[in-house]
Amino acid sequence: MHSFGYRANALLTFSLTILAFMCAIASLSDSLNSPSPSAQVQVLNINWFQKQPNGNDEVSMTLNISADLQSLFTWNTKQVFVYLAAEYDTPKNSLNQISLWDGIIPSKEHAKFLIHTSNKYRFIDQGTNLRGKEFNLTLHWHVMPKTGKMLADKIVMPGYRLPVEYR
């Protein structure tokens, strides 16, 4: 009954149970946090706007992104992944969603930022529908925990209308 094997087994099972319980509690504690993030995005300039040789529209733009995501961080937060997505519909596609920029925020100290950048990922349409097209800009974030459930939310921002002519 009281062999080494039994004791080792009991100890291992108990410590794993405690560990799993603590992980669950840590993940649950995230829901006690009610964050109040804020963000602003401006399209400063259309750098160029043209039709690719294969017939798809592509646009390059300069963006000003400022956000304060400090309140998203809790003790169970490993990092926050933040990205800016453009959304629009076309006659052929009911939804087009394109990431324009993303970033990893490793800690609370870096969660208040202002970035001046051109789009990190190419803004290419499936077709030639971008002239005069209005799209929505949304700042999304994924809170990646040290352990447990991943949380996601977003702020919808004023959209932008692309120019009517290529340039």
Nearer to other proteins, 75 or 167 (CB): 75
1/32 with CB nearer other proteins: 1
Identify which of residues 59 and 85 has a Cβ nearer to other proteins in the complex: 85
- 117: tokens are 């950048």
Give backbone dihedrals phi and psi of 61, rounded to 5 degrees, phi first.
-140, 160
108 in contact with other proteins (CB under 8 A): no
For other proteins, the binding residue among 104, 114, 115, 156 (CB under 8 A) is 104
What is the spatial distance between Cα 154 and Cα 83, in angstroms, rounded to a whole number?
Answer: 9
111 in helix, strand or coil?
coil
Asked if 5 touches other proteins (CB under 8 A), the answer is yes
Pick one of 117, 136, 140, 157: the residue that binds other proteins (CB under 8 A). 140
Site for other proteins in 34-73 (CB under 8 A): none
**What's the Cα-to-Cα distance from 7 to each of 16, 19, 20, 136, rounded to whole Å?**
14, 18, 20, 61
